[in-house]
Amino acid sequence: MGVPFIKVSVIYFFIGVSLGFYMGVTDSFQFTSAHAHVNLLGWVSLAVSGVIYQIFPVAGNHRLADYHFWLMMAGVPLLFFAMICFGLGQSDIGEPVSGLGGLLMIMGVVVFMVNVIKNVNVKAEER
């Protein structure tokens, strides 16, 4: 399951760098929150998760990794969209979307944490 995380993470890396470039060129920094969220949650968190799942295939092949993946695939874009809405002054749209995206992200992180604690074991990987 590590490879899908890594492949999606590089898409978010491109989005984050592109948004940062846009903000720098236009001298318009209203989307810094979106830029930070897409880079940290989309690029870094997904890439690190993917690497962990590649190094520890017992965790990467567990059904919890699938749940983690899909929760993140829903949560990250919702949070990114919400941060764009906030940057545009559309809090009425951003607030509920942020709440839902944040909830999905927290659920994904909890599932990831349980999976790592349960299934990342050096002895199990040596078998």
Per-residue pLDDT at 127 exceeds 90: no
State yes or no: pLDDT of 54 exceeds 80.
yes
Q: In a 3-state reduction of DSSP, which class is residue 29?
A: coil
Residue 121: the pLDDT is 87
What is the C-alpha to C-alpha distance for residues 90 and 114, in angstroms, rounded to an integer?
A: 36
**In whole angstroms, what is the distance from residue 41 CA to residue 73 CA?**
11
pLDDT at 113: 98
Interacting residues of 89 by C-beta distance below 8 A, sequence separation 6+:
none
60-77: pLDDT as tens digits:
999 999 999 999 999 999
Residue-level pLDDT at 123 = 66
Q: Where are the domains of the chain?
A: 2-126
- Can you tell me the mean pLDDT for 80-103? 97
pLDDT tens profile 3-48: 999 999 999 999 999 999 999 999 999 999 999 999 999 999 999 9
